[in-house]
Structure 1
Amino acid sequence: VFRKKLSIDHRTWAKELVGVRNRLAHLGGEDFTDDDTWRALDTMSRLVEQIDSESAEEIRDILRTLRYGSASGSTTVKETTYSSLVSSKQKNIGILSTTPISGLPSWRDIIEPHPDVAQGRYKNAEFAADLAQVARGEGAYEYRDPVEFFARTYVTEGMAGLLEQSLRRVTGKDGEPVVQLKTAFGGGKTHSMLALYHMMRGRVSIDKIPNIKQVLKSAEVTSLPKANVAVLVGTALDPTKSKRPNNMPGITINTLWGEMAAQLAESAGNTSLYDYVKEADKKGVSPGSEALKNLFDAAAPCLILMDELVAYAKKIYGVSGLPAGTFDNFISFIQEVTGATRASKNSLVVASIPESDIEIGGEAGKIALETIEHTFGRMESIWKPVAANEGFEVVRRRLFLDCKNPDGRDLVCSKFSQMYNENQSDFPLEAREVEYKERMISCYPIHPEIFDRLYEDWATLERFQRTRGVLRLMAAVIHELWMGNDASLMIMPGSIPLDVPNVRDELTRHLSEGWNALVDREVDGKNSIPYQKDQSNPRYGGKLAARRVAR
């Protein structure tokens, strides 16, 4: 019955749910485990999303309640059932077991990591947002669910400006029609596109994503729009193969413009929209700006997200006979789509442009980048990368729940500030300032010095991915400290357990060979000199003094 209407993925999900139904019928009075319940509900939401988005959101409410105890997800949750979770394995030798100052609470008594971080269930790949996966209904739940996505997203000044201008554009006001996003490697381009994707589809009410209410107010919009969205990710598209979508019988998609039109047609529930580019798609030639303008007007309001364009261009550069057409036709399409968007009413194109040599990669990439940049024009005033003073907010929101004991947090930070002022010769001048105390409160439970070193020093390494790299490292650190029952007042530079391979590798992977041996000998681990000093002196050993200084 559904073969002609559902994709292979959707038929697989339907088959899985039939199995769930059968299993439930034979369980009698027994309950499913939480993990099995989560899996079943997640599959239901993916399947129903294509049929009834409102019902899919009701299922996601149940999912959030199961994981966080609230339909609002982690937005309103400060404590979970994992608050007492500690490791059952041998105690980590490099983690403090007693609070340094009696009477002050440790960080773990004040704030909790998100469950996936506390349990170590996160995958490093999940910190690299994948727009194509989300558009297919795949990938980490925290990226797929709009409520949970925004709950873990700190809306930076740059992102707020992007969202505001985009809202104004698709609602017929004065926003820019074409936006180019350009930042350093790991600087947040794709994450910002995901924010646009979730906001523009209008699948949830604004009450469930309170951190963008101010964006709507600034854009003079009262509710989230329901725009038709097309997602074009160069790394996820294969120019050597044609596609035959199940929900569009008799149609074969060959090109980037064919893919775009087909997605808009599916989003709008109107397959005739594909006809605007049908012949051009069949012949592999760009359709012309007039046809694209008519398509955008017919699909309005609409949003076109283009990520990894340079990666796609490299695949077709210098290659002939591809179903996707030639490199020249690809460039013509980029020129035409920008012109058509400016001429249309409520359409918006947002494209990411790489800045680092790692992403550009090779001569073909440079030629493609120069051509694409010239075509789009330099419309970067709307976009700002994550500023250094915003990075800690991004990391804290992604890795931690809301603070459950603000008074305890403020007391600890006040004691740190008092110590810095009473021992002025031992600490930097800025540590004595009121602003530094405020930074400690904002960064809590991670000490600002960690962020300063990572964003100022480590960010100079070509392969270190700024916010993404900080997330990977700190997720590993927090998991080890949480499971090891760390009793520190704050997570300090000296708290980073470099004796743990998972943590150490997150740092040394960005360095040249030989650093692992250096860390093992000079910094941390049972064979290190600092460890031997701690072992030989009980006063040092009780506070892990030598290792913490070396770290």
Structure 2
Amino acid sequence: MAKTPWTPWHKVVQLRDDVRSGELSLAIFAADLYDVTMGRARAVYQDSKEFFALTYPTLNLRDLCKDVVLRLAGQNDKAVRQLELTYGGGKTHTLITLYHLVQNPTKLPDMPSVQEFIAHIGMTPPKARVVSLCFDKLDPETGMDVTSPEGEIRRLKRPWSVMAFQIAGAEGLRMLHGEGLDQERESAPFENLISELLSIPGKQGLPTLVLIDEVLSYVREMTGLDQVWRGRMINFFQFLTQAATKVDKCSVVASLLATDPRKSDALGKELTQELYAIFRREKEEGVQPVGKEDVAEVLRRRFFTPESLRDREVFRPHVVAAVKNISDLDEQTRKAKKGAEERFARSYPFHPDLTDVFYTKWTGLEGFQRTRGILRTFALALRDAEKWDECPLVAANVFLGEPGKGDISEAARELTTVATTE
């Protein structure tokens, strides 16, 4: 029987320019909420048009955005949401999505992904006062720069000060201070004070959205320096979540885990459980923005040009050819050929087994820095394999390097380094 011809994957879909060229450092793939809120992030995250071009509105992500926006519009009581570790990561990306949706909704770009969000929500998001608590940027000694609603920038050290200044500038600091000074306080403010603080934007006709990222990074560091901070931070989150449920049109969305695996030692795990317990008291289930079934689409949008992904029917003959050749060698695929074609079509140009292994196995390794490590390794492999790979699908061979060459590929070296340290 003559061999069924196929087209190499890189002749069907084209790599994005930033994947094909550049240093491909981890930082390139790291979504940074703090930089976005300070207006200095890379364009792919700062510019709403570029951001939504790369954003896949998964069902879970759309559901979360709907819940948050309706809360901000005063149409539900889901005040507190906590993001969980997922196959595809996406926690910080989710927070940035919420930021763009409500920070200036009248200037949202008119594009399919944005329309998907708005259609699912059922309304145009209201403009909100957005507060970000990015704990991986809050230095224990020097603090972080924070911007007030009027645009004033001030360096602050305490989480409640960072929140207060973003909500109401110096007035927010005076509200929390025992002597009414626009200075910081050391102890966590109680629920009644936080409620007053969160209510300020409402008096100006704005709902309040508090976005919290990398909580464990800060709590673990501060507790290691002084045990008093363990109770102080637990109190802060307890009072904050309680206050948020009592203030109309106020929502808190938090990512508790730390990207840095060193924060997940025995003490880090204890603190994580204590933090989880606080958010579970509000009786809201944790949210996984990206499910296993979403992984291939997330990867497609990050690595390949929108133009080459627009007409998905173009993929069908290449999928059929690939499955035909696989079924010639694999009896299980041959017996379930129709189902196999659908499975391969959903993951094209990636072999579905490849995305399954990476997102169920490799992201579980603490040293692999979760999603950004996955994206960087994939990008390295795709950039190199584009030059020589003749396979119809992106499979494990792209990580091994060009056949006949003695050198191990950069992607394989990276995987090996992580594997040997686990």
TM class by shorter chain equals 0.7 to 0.9
Aligned-partner residue type, residue 258 of structure 1 = S
Task: Give the secondary-structure state (helix, strand or coil) at the position aligned to 1:488.
Answer: coil
* Alignment of structure 1 residues 248-397 onto 2, 5 Å: 253-265=156-168, 272-279=171-178, 282-300=184-202, 301-317=207-223, 319=225, 326-354=229-257, 358=261, 360-377=263-280, 379=283, 381=285, 383-384=287-288, 386-397=290-301
Structure 1 residues 198-246: Cα deviation after superposition (integer angstroms, max 9, x where no partner): 222125644534214333333331x232111111111210232366868
Identity %: 27
* Alignment of structure 1 residues 429-440 onto 2, 5 Å: 429=333, 432-440=336-344
Alignment partner of 1:188 is 2:90: yes
How far apart, CA to CA, are the structure 1 residues paired with 2:87 and 2:27?
15
Per the TM alignment, residue 163 of structure 1 is displaced from its structure 2 partner at its CA by: 0.9
Alignment correspondent of 1:161: 63
RMSD in angstroms over aligned alpha carbons? 3.3
For residue 392 of structure 2, the aligned residue among 482, 489, 513 is: 489
Alignment partner of 1:411 is 2:310: no
Per the TM alignment, residue 445 of structure 1 is displaced from its structure 2 partner at its CA by: 2.0
How far apart, CA to CA, are the structure 2 residues paired with 1:151 and 1:365?
36
Alignment correspondent of 1:208: 110
Alignment correspondent of 1:240: 141
Per the TM alignment, residue 494 of structure 1 is displaced from its structure 2 partner at its CA by: 2.8
Alignment partner of 1:443 is 2:353: no
Answer whether contact 1:169 1:176 (CA < 8 A) is retained.
yes
Answer whether contact 2:15 2:303 (CA < 8 A) is retained.
yes
State which structure, 1 or 2, has the greater radius of gyration over its C-alpha atoms: 1
Q: List structure 1 runs of 4+ shifted beyond 6 angstroms.
A: 243-252
Answer whether contact 1:308 1:353 (CA < 8 A) is retained.
yes
Answer whether contact 1:409 1:444 (CA < 8 A) is retained.
yes
* Alignment of structure 1 residues 77-88 onto 2, 5 Å: none
Structure 1 residues 163-216: Cα deviation after superposition (integer angstroms, max 9, x where no partner): 111111111111410111121597222221121122221256445342143333
How far apart, CA to CA, are the structure 2 residues paired with 1:375 and 1:205?
36
How far apart, CA to CA, are the structure 2 residues paired with 1:186 and 1:109?
26
Per the TM alignment, residue 262 of structure 1 is displaced from its structure 2 partner at its CA by: 0.9
Question: Under a length normalisation based on structure 2, what TM-score does the superposition of the two structures give?
Answer: 0.83
Alignment correspondent of 1:108: 10
Per the TM alignment, residue 319 of structure 1 is displaced from its structure 2 partner at its CA by: 4.5
How far apart, CA to CA, are the structure 1 residues paired with 2:216 and 2:83?
13
Alignment partner of 1:452 is 2:356: yes
Answer whether contact 1:183 1:355 (CA < 8 A) is retained.
no
Answer whether contact 1:331 1:372 (CA < 8 A) is retained.
yes
Structure 2: give runs of 5+ residues left out of the alignment: 402-406
How far apart, CA to CA, are the structure 2 residues paired with 1:419 and 1:249?
63
Per the TM alignment, residue 465 of structure 1 is displaced from its structure 2 partner at its CA by: 5.0
Task: Give the secondary-structure state (helix, strand or coil) at the position aligned to 1:159.
Answer: helix
Structure 1 residues 382-405: Cα deviation after superposition (integer angstroms, max 9, x where no partner): 512532221111111111123366
Structure 1 residues 38-97: Cα deviation after superposition (integer angstroms, max 9, x where no partner): xxxxxxxxxxxxxxxxxxxxxxxxxxxxxxxxxxxxxxxxxxxxxxxxxxxxxxxxxxxx
Answer whether contact 2:223 2:230 (CA < 8 A) is retained.
yes
Per the TM alignment, residue 318 of structure 1 is displaced from its structure 2 partner at its CA by: 6.0
How far apart, CA to CA, are the structure 1 residues paired with 2:379 and 2:347?
15
How many positions carry a matched residue from both structures? 403
Alignment correspondent of 1:504: 412
Task: Give the secondary-structure state (helix, strand or coil) at the position aligned to 2:55.
Answer: coil
How far apart, CA to CA, are the structure 2 residues paired with 1:420 and 1:326?
57
Task: Give the secondary-structure state (helix, strand or coil) at the position aligned to 2:130.
Answer: strand
Structure 1 residues 485-521: Cα deviation after superposition (integer angstroms, max 9, x where no partner): 54433323334343453221232122117x9xxxxxx
Alignment correspondent of 1:170: 72
Structure 1 residues 227-277: Cα deviation after superposition (integer angstroms, max 9, x where no partner): 1111111121023236686878897734211111111236xxxx5344322
How far apart, CA to CA, are the structure 1 residues paired with 2:379 and 2:260?
27
Alignment correspondent of 2:130: 229
In structure 2, do the counterparts of structure 1 residues 251 and 356 end up closer, same or farther at CA, with 3 Å as the change threshold? closer
How far apart, CA to CA, are the structure 1 residues paired with 2:262 and 2:153?
37
How far apart, CA to CA, are the structure 2 residues paired with 1:382 and 1:373?
9
Answer whether contact 1:417 1:431 (CA < 8 A) is retained.
no
Per the TM alignment, residue 326 of structure 1 is displaced from its structure 2 partner at its CA by: 4.2
Alignment correspondent of 1:130: 32
Structure 1: give runs of 5+ residues left out of the alignment: 1-99, 516-551
Aligned-partner residue type, residue 411 of structure 1 = P
Task: Give the secondary-structure state (helix, strand or coil) at the position aligned to 1:208.
Answer: coil
Taking CA–CA contacts closer than 8 Å with sequence separation of 6 or more, which of the two structures ends up with the larger relative contact order?
2
Answer whether contact 1:185 1:355 (CA < 8 A) is retained.
no
Answer whether contact 1:162 1:382 (CA < 8 A) is retained.
no
Answer whether contact 2:88 2:359 (CA < 8 A) is retained.
no
In structure 2, do the counterparts of structure 1 residues 460 and 178 end up closer, same or farther at CA, with 3 Å as the change threshold? closer
